Amino acid sequence: MKISKIIGIVLILGSLYLGYLGINKVANNSAELNVLGLKIDASNDSGKEQGFIYIGLAIVLLGSGVYSINKE
């Protein structure tokens, strides 16, 4: 097995982990209450931004991992 394929697999696994962390961070920092017809937003915007950054990095890692596996 070539070293580029091993690096590609590691990058893909890292992207899956970062994507998981990002989705959980976005979900955990989003909170909305509905009390007597009033919506109360208790979200943490900085936590959401950090989650979206994780998701973006996961996409970049996934693309680079797939590229390094497919290149000859």
Rounded to 10°, the helix 3-28/45-70 angle is 160
Q: Which residues contact 9 (CB under 8 A, 6 or more apart)?
A: 65, 69
Token look-up 């693309």 returns 63
Mean pLDDT of the chain: 86
Residue 72, both tokens: 């000859």
39 DSSP β-pair partners: 34
Q: For 13-42, write each residue's pLDDT tens digit.
A: 999 999 999 999 888 877 777 777 777 776
Domain that holds residue 61: 3-70
Query: Could you tell me the sign of the dihedral formed by the alpha carbons of 11, 13, 15, 21, in that order?
Result: negative
Domain count for the chain, please give it: 1
